[in-house]
């Protein structure tokens, strides 16, 4: 029974475990001695910054860890201590058994018998070696387990316990050594030496691994439980926290935290909501009080201001009134100055316009008086010369009136443009035909670019007006035998520059500065060339209204270069066929067989009627009938059925529009072409007339070529 195998018992040594714990505590104490306060402060700060959920998890995990460590440590310490006691007791029992078995061998000095008895220890694998010492401490017999070194003390070890006849336990590396005296009947026969395996370290490692596994499992279980069960504690507090943050951020004290549970957290929610209710009531009361105080303060401030206003002295009031009067006088002086400057500018403009209008009228009236006077007989050559002067002055006067009207419309913003894609080649062809006679009379060569394919975004009529003005100026102010060159080049993305270059006398810098001033002809007033001085002003305004720019460079004695830049456009399609030339139309009409074509002219002014009668008299293919008012014209039209009707618009009784409507209502006259001939020459008047149904709209003074072209076109349409 003394040789039972107790190797499976688990119990660490009671002396080793306390030593390890004391060493660990000592190291921890030394580490805390230097960094303890700082770590505690840092840990406290970190803990205060954590959320309640994290704190709850940390507390539960720390508590679980401490409980598991203490419980597992206590169990392991108790079990290892029991194992150590059992191991020592087992070893002592074996030593005592060996002593009894070998006491006879010691008494009879029989080493062989002692070795045989010691060999019985081979059934105990935990015993590595055993030895017997006699009473004198000399080695008597020994046993060594297989594979163990045969090393023993030469003499029996001396210990205090052995001297007193007690067992002595020592450590030899990883082995446990027992030295036990053999005594019989009070006499010491010898000493037993046993060296056995000490399984304490292995047991400790096993228990540490088991403890770590148990601790980890306990921590995981605790974490899962606290995550699941902690919601009942954390959720109400989190709700209170969210409501508190929202209240602080929005100052909305009407918010309330939800009551989720029925425990202390619910009481905390009720208390928090009650606190919010109290704060809300007090806040409202405070705001009302503040509003009342603010109203009282405003009333007191208004009362104080009123008192201060009423207490202002008479001197201050007089000073204010005086200052106001001075300011009013200063503003009045400025206004008077501006009005005076405007009047001067207006007077200067009217003076210039009066001068420009009277100049051609002087020639017209003067030569007309000579022709009409019986006291100043004239020859046929003189009559032709005087008529030429009258015609030239009349045309100049018409040009001046048209340019003044254009300038007035541009300045007043009443000019309307019709922006559309315009083929540049067509405009240049028309300008070439219109400027060629003037250039030929002056002996000036005009060069145009070869049929450009560009298309400009512009008003067709106004673009031709701009180019004709620049070309006519380049021809008029050029030298005899000079040249005018028109060119077009790209000026950038979707921009085209048209340049008019002449070889005239050029201009100085001060002349260029006054170039675009109305009625300023830059010293050419007394020159042989006629002009109004407002053509370039209108040209610049028209170019700017079409979204373009205009510029000029000039050198005295070398000539000038005028240029305009306009936006290009996508071609809108091929232009229609050019209208038939007036002369060709007249020839076609004249070649028609039969009686002369009947033309009805409704005009209340005898002079205008006489003029039309004289023009028609030069055409044998036409016969003219006149009516003095609209009603008479309608009666003649129904009776005579003319092929063409010419009518003024401003007639006595009924207007020209009423005449047109009357003709259209009657089936017998509805097909007759009607041409308007009026002094209302504004673009809106022309547009209104064409929209009303007039086939053509001619303006006074009459252009004979256009007049004949209109008659021929009407006859062709009717035919």
pLDDT tens digits for range 418-459: 788 988 888 888 888 888 888 888 888 998 988 678 899 988
CB 7 within 8 A of CB 126: yes
Average pLDDT over residues 657-673: 92
The alpha helices in 373-459, defined as continuous H runs, are 380-412, 424-442
User: Which residues, in sequence order, are CB contacts of 680 under 8 Å at separation 6+?
Assistant: 649, 650, 699
CA distance 678 to 660: 14
Q: Which long-range contacts (CB under 8 A, 24 or more apart) does 575-584 make?
A: 575/423, 575/426, 579/709, 582/705, 582/706, 582/708, 582/709, 582/712
Residue 677, strand partner residues: 698
Q: At what angle do helices 460-476 and 424-442 cross, to 10 degrees?
A: 20
Please give the C-alpha separations between residue 341 and each of 344, 345, 348, 517, in angstroms, as whole numbers.
Answer: 5, 6, 10, 17
Tell me which DSSP letter residue 574 carries.
Answer: P
As a whole number of angstroms, the distance between CA 546 and CA 104 comes to: 144
Geometric angle at alpha carbon 27, from 25 and 31, rounded to 5°:
115
CB 659 within 8 A of CB 630: yes
pLDDT digits (tens, 9 = 90+) for 307-332: 777 877 777 777 888 888 888 888 88
Nearest to 546 by CA among 682, 701, 415, 648: 415
Strand order in the sheet with 559-567: 445-447, 483-492, 495-502, 559-567, 549-555
In which band, very low, low, confident or very high, does the pLDDT at 348 lie, cut at 50, 70 and 90? low
Is residue 141 over pLDDT 90?
no
Confidence tier at 589 by pLDDT (50, 70, 90): very low
Cα distance between residue 192 and residue 143, in whole Å: 11
Q: How many helices (H) and strands (E) does the chain have?
A: 19, 17
- Which conformational region is residue 387 in: left (phi greater than 0), alpha (psi within -120 to 50 degrees), or beta? alpha
Model confidence at 522, pLDDT cuts 50, 70, 90, reads low
pLDDT score for 16: 40
> Please, which pLDDT band fits residue 12 given cuts at 50, 70 and 90?
very low
196 confidence band (pLDDT: 50, 70, 90): confident
Cis status of the peptide bond prior to 701, with omega within 30 of 0: yes
DSSP conformation letters of 158-192: P-HHHHTT--EEEEETTEEEEEEEEEETTEEEEEE
pLDDT of 5 over the 50 cut? no
Q: Between residues 522 and 650, which one has the greater pLDDT?
A: 650
User: Taking the complete model, does pTM exceed 0.75, yes or no?
Assistant: no
| Better-scored residue on pLDDT, 339 or 649 | 649
pLDDT band at 124 (very low <50, low <70, confident <90, very high): confident
SS3 call for 364: helix
Count CB-CB contacts under 10 A for residue 546.
Answer: 20
**Ranges 259-268, 299-308, 444-453: which has the least confidence:** 259-268
Classify residue 683 as exposed, middle or buried by CB count within 10 Å of its CB (0-12, 13-18, 19+).
middle
Mean per-residue pLDDT of the chain: 78
- The count of other CB atoms within 10 Å of the CB of residue 540 is 20
Return the number of other C-beta atoms located less than 10 Å from residue 673's C-beta.
Answer: 21
Determine if residue 594 is left, alpha or beta; phi over 0 gives left, psi from -120 to 50 gives alpha, anything else beta: left
> Which of these, 436, 438, 427, 426, lies nearest to 395 by C-alpha position?
438
In what helix (H) or strand (E) does residue 499 lie, and over which residues does it extend? strand 495-502
Average pLDDT over residues 481-496: 89
**Contact call for residues 460 and 440 (beta carbons, < 8 A):** no
pLDDT at 26: 58
Return the pLDDT at 528: 52
Which of 326-330, 383-387, 597-601 has the highest average model confidence (pLDDT)?
A: 597-601
Contact 148, 122 (CB under 8 A): no
C-alpha 719/C-alpha 703 separation (Å) is: 24
Helix (H) or strand (E) holding 502: strand 495-502
262 has pLDDT over 90:
no
Q: List alpha helices for 514-627, DSSP H.
A: 535-545, 582-590, 606-617
Q: What are phi and psi of 488, to 5 degrees?
A: -135, 130
Q: Two tokens at 277?
A: 């209710």
**What distance in Å separates the CA atoms of residue 549 and residue 567, rounded to the nearest whole number?**
10
Q: Which residue has the tokens 């003024």?
A: 648
Q: How is 302-331 classified by DSSP, letter by letter?
A: HHHHHHHHHH--HHHHHHHHHHHHHHHHHH
Structure tokens at 203: 């047991």
In the predicted model, what is the mean pLDDT of residues 118-143?
83
CA distance 545 to 462: 10
Nearest residue to 615 (alpha-carbon basis) of 703, 718, 501: 703
Reference 616, options 646, 594, 592; nearest CA is 646
High-pLDDT (> 90) share of the chain, %:
13
Q: How does pLDDT run across 147-167, given as a tens digit for each residue?
A: 778 778 877 776 554 555 567
Q: Mean pLDDT over residues 238-256, rounded? A: 80
pLDDT score for 105: 79
Using an 8 Å Cβ cutoff, are 633 and 641 in contact?
no
> For residue 712, what pLDDT is reported?
92
Asked if 483 and 447 touch (Cβ cutoff 8 Å), the reply is yes
Q: Which of 173-187, 297-311, 527-541 ranks highest by mean pLDDT? A: 297-311
pLDDT of residue 20: 39
């Amino acid at each position: 029974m003394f040789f039972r195998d107790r190797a499976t018992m688990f119990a660490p040594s009671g002396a080793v475990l306390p030593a390890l714990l004391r060493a660990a505590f000592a190291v921890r104490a030394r580490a805390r001695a230097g960094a303890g306060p700082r770590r505690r402060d840092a840990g406290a700060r970190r803990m205060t910054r954590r959320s309640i959920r994290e704190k709850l998890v940390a507390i539960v995990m720390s508590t679980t860890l401490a409980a598991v460590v203490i419980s597992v440590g206590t169990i392991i310490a108790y079990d290892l201590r029991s194992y150590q006691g059992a191991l020592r007791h087992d070893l002592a029992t074996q030593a005592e058994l060996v002593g009894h078995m070998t006491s006879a061998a010691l008494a009879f000095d029989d080493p062989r018998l002692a070795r045989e008895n010691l060999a019985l220890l081979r059934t105990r694998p935990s015993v590595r070696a055993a030895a017997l010492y006699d009473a004198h401490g000399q080695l008597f017999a020994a046993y060594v387990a297989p594979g163990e070194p045969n090393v023993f003390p030469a003499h029996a070890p001396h210990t205090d316990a052995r001297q007193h006849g007690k067992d002595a336990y020592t450590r030899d590396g990883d082995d446990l050594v027992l030295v036990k005296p053999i005594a019989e009947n009070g006499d010491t026969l010898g000493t037993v030496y046993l060296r056995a395996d000490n399984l304490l370290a292995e047991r400790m490692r096993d228990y540490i691994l088991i403890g770590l596994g148990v601790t980890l499992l306990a921590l995981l279980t605790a974490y899962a439980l606290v995550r699941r069960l902690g919601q009942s504690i954390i959720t109400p507090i989190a709700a209170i926290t969210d409501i508190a943050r929202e209240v602080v951020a929005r100052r909305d004290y009407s918010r309330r935290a939800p009551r989720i549970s029925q425990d202390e957290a619910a009481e905390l929610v009720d208390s928090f909501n009650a606190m919010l209710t109290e704060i809300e009531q007090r806040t409202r009361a405070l705001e009302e009080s503040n509003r009342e105080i603010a109203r009282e303060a405003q009333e007191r401030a208004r009362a104080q201001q009123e008192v201060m206003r009423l207490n202002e002295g008479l001197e201050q009031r007089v000073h204010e009134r005086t200052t106001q009067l001075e300011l009013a006088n200063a503003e009045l002086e400025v206004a008077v100055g501006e009005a005076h400057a405007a009047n001067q500018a207006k007077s200067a403009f009217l003076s210039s316009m009066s001068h420009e209008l009277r100049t051609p009228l002087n020639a017209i009236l003067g030569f007309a008086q000579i022709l009409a006077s019986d006291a100043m007989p004239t020859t046929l050559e003189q009559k032709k010369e005087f008529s030429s002067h009258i015609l030239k002055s009349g045309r100049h006067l018409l040009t001046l009136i048209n340019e003044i009207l254009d300038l007035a419309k541009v300045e007043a913003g009443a000019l309307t443009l019709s922006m559309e894609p315009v083929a540049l080649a067509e405009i240049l062809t028309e300008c070439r035909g219109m400027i060629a006679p003037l250039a030929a009379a002056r002996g000036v060569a005009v060069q145009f670019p070869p049929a450009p394919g560009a298309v400009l975004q512009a008003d067709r009529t106004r673009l031709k007006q701009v180019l004709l003005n620049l070309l006519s100026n380049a021809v008029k102010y050029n030298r005899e035998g000079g040249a005018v060159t028109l060119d077009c080049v790209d000026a950038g993305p979707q921009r085209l520059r048209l340049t008019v270059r002449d070889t005239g006398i050029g201009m100085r810098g001060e002349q260029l500065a006054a170039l675009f001033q109305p009625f300023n002809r830059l010293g050419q007033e007394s020159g042989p060339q006629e002009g109004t001085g407002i053509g370039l002003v209108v040209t610049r305004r028209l170019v700017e209204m079409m979204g373009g720019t205009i510029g000029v460079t000039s050198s005295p004695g070398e000539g000038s270069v005028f240029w305009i830049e306009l936006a290009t456009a996508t071609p809108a399609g091929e232009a229609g066929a050019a209208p038939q030339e007036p002369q060709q139309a007249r020839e076609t009409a004249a070649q028609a067989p039969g009686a002369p074509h009947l033309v009805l002219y409704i005009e209340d002014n005898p002079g205008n009627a006489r003029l039309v009668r004289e023009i028609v008299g030069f055409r044998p293919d036409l016969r003219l009938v006149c009516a003095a008012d609209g009603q008479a014209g309608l009666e003649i039209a129904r009776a005579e059925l003319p092929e063409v009707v010419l009518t003024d618009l401003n007639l006595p009784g009924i207007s020209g529009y009423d005449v047109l409507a009357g003709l259209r209502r009657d089936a017998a006259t509805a097909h007759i072409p009607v041409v308007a001939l009026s002094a209302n020459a504004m673009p809106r008047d022309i547009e209104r007339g064409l929209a009303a149904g007039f086939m053509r709209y001619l303006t006074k003074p009459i252009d004979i070529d256009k007049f004949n072209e209109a008659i021929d076109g009407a006859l062709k349409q009717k035919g």
